[in-house]
């Protein structure tokens, strides 16, 4: 067993961790510190984060879903969605996003990555969008403002039921009316 000591705590907290646990903690710390360069955590802080968030969910999200947000302003609570969902707004093509005039190269870049509708757009994080060609901070700021007017934000995760509602609405919009 190896011990780690956290200075500056009321009693200089010392916790003994078995070597295999220390290895896992180290891997988790690596994931966190890679994503958040300015963040440096002690073993105890990593353990508290894992316990608070749920170790299984943390490892699943970080290891297999690299686009999943790890920390949000409210300690990793997913963005809340308005109820009822603004289905018509979510089905809009991104080129028709109200209040945002997206250049054709921005729309084409997004479309090449499978982002054609507002619903597909809000499932992406700001960081993911900034990686796309022609997406800059100004474009992101305009998009975030337009989404906020509908109580939506980037990095949203839909439930399976919500996704089914959106898909059904999109299919309905695509059907020609007779």
- Who has greater pLDDT, 44 or 177? 44
**Percent of the chain surpassing pLDDT 90:** 31
- pLDDT at residue 10 tops 50: no
* Structure confidence by residue, pLDDT tens digits, 139-171: 999 999 999 888 899 998 888 888 899 999 988
Nearest Cα neighbor of 157 from 46, 79, 83, 86 is 79
* Structure confidence by residue, pLDDT tens digits, 56-101: 454 444 444 344 444 444 444 556 677 788 899 999 999 999 988 9
What pTM, to 2 d.p., does this model score?
A: 0.55
* Structure confidence by residue, pLDDT tens digits, 93-123: 999 999 889 999 999 999 999 999 999 999 9
Q: Where are the beta strands (DSSP E) in the chain?
A: 2-5, 14-17
Residue 112 phi, psi dihedral angles, 5° rounding: -65, -20
When pLDDT is cut at 50, 70 and 90, the band that residue 27 belongs to is confident
- For residue 15, the model assigns a pLDDT of 61
- For residue 73, the model assigns a pLDDT of 43
Sign, CA dihedral 70-39-73-111, equals negative
Domains, the chain, ordered by start: 2-64 (no CATH), 87-174 (1.10.150.20)
The Cα–Cα gap between 45 and 126 comes to 26
């Amino acid at each position: 067993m190896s011990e780690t000591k956290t200075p500056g705590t009321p009693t200089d907290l010392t916790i003994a961790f078995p070597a295999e646990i220390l290895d896992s903690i180290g891997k988790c710390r690596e994931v966190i510190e890679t994503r958040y360069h300015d963040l440096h955590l002690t073993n105890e802080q990593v353990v508290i984060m894992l316990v608070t968030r749920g170790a299984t969910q943390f490892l699943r999200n970080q290891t297999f879903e690299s686009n999943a947000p790890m920390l949000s302003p409210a300690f990793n609570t997913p963005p809340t969605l308005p109820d009822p969902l603004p289905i018509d707004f979510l089905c809009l093509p991104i080129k028709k996003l109200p209040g945002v005039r997206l250049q054709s190269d921005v729309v084409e870049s997004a479309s090449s990555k499978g982002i054609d509708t507002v619903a597909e757009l809000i499932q992406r994080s700001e960081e993911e969008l900034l990686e796309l060609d022609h997406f800059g901070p100004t474009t992101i700021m305009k998009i975030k403002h337009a989404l906020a007017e509908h109580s939506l934000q980037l990095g949203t995760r839909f439930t399976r039921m919500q996704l089914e509602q959106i898909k059904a609405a999109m299919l309905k919009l695509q059907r020609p009316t007779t």
